[in-house]
Amino acid sequence: MTTLLIWWVAIALETVLLGRALYSRLVGKYPFFFLYLSSVVICDISLFCVSKLEPSAYPDLSRQTEVLNIVLGYGILLEIFTHVLARYPGAERFARVAGLVVFVLVLCLALAYPLVSAGAPQSHFRYSVVERDFLAVQAIFLFVVFGVISYYRIDAGRNITGMIIGYGVWLGTSVAVLALGSYSVASFGQIRILVQPLSYLFSLLTWLSALWSYAPSSASPARLGLRADYESLAASTAETIGKMRAELARTARL
């Protein structure tokens, strides 16, 4: 009964958040985030209907929707990268490309894992390991972004800050729960069935508060340290590339 109640409350909060975003036109400001949230709403409603009408199909559909939402969760990271590093296009582009490369590598691992671990005892356990790895990569990137914001005192704005806190809490909880599941498969389901939904409710409440209206980052520049670091890195990179080109041209003439 508790799980069912959490499920209903989550769907209600998701619907309110999406409705408010459409009304205040936040969907256009943060398309990747609301694409993720829309997918979660549709999946939650679909799973609820399937659990009542066709319970035997629920486990497989649940895993498929979890994979879909984990993949779309990378869109939230891209959203955060884009807005936090908007005034530094080189840094933003590097973070975005690095995130996509790591995502592709983990995706390849996920596709190959069932083949190389065919002798493992439980397919559900194998799936949980892959899911943990996907979420762990997201958590690492989110932690790096949070570190950059804190160190350089970047004003990310209420919207992005709430996005980071809400998604960070859910990511951290999910990774911890899945890690526990790797050591104790028997108690894995009992822990996950309550802790993860509660952390997600906290995330939804955080997002509802932070994204009630548009509140972008301040127009004032970030602390000079970030600009100086970025410009210094860009200058040194350009100088190194110039030297390499000159050396290649000299070698070609020889």
What tokens does 168 get?
């960070």
**Other CB atoms closer than 10 Å to residue 20's CB: what's the count?**
14
Confidence (pLDDT) at 221:
46
Q: Where exactly are the structural domains of the chain? A: 2-222, 224-254
pLDDT tens track, the chain, 254 positions = 677 888 899 999 999 999 999 999 999 999 999 999 999 999 999 998 998 898 888 888 888 888 888 888 888 888 887 787 776 666 666 666 766 676 677 667 666 655 655 554 444 445 666 777 778 888 888 887 787 777 777 788 899 999 999 999 999 998 888 877 666 555 555 666 788 889 999 999 999 999 999 988 764 444 445 555 555 555 555 565 565 566 555 655 55
Q: Are 34 and 211 in contact (CB under 8 A)?
A: no
Between CA 210 and CA 177 the distance in angstroms is 26
The structure tokens listed for 176 are: 């911890």
**pTM of structure:** 0.76
The answer for residues whose C-beta is within 8 angstroms of residue 68's C-beta and 6 or more apart is 39, 43
Q: Which pLDDT score is estimated for 33?
A: 94
DSSP letters for 171-220: HHHHHHHHHHHHH-HHHHHHHHHHHHHHHHHHHHHHHHHHTSS-----SS
Q: What is the predicted pLDDT for the residue at 41? A: 94
- Out of 1.20.1070, 2.40.128, 3.40.1350, 3.40.50, which CATH number does the structure's domain 2-222 have? 1.20.1070
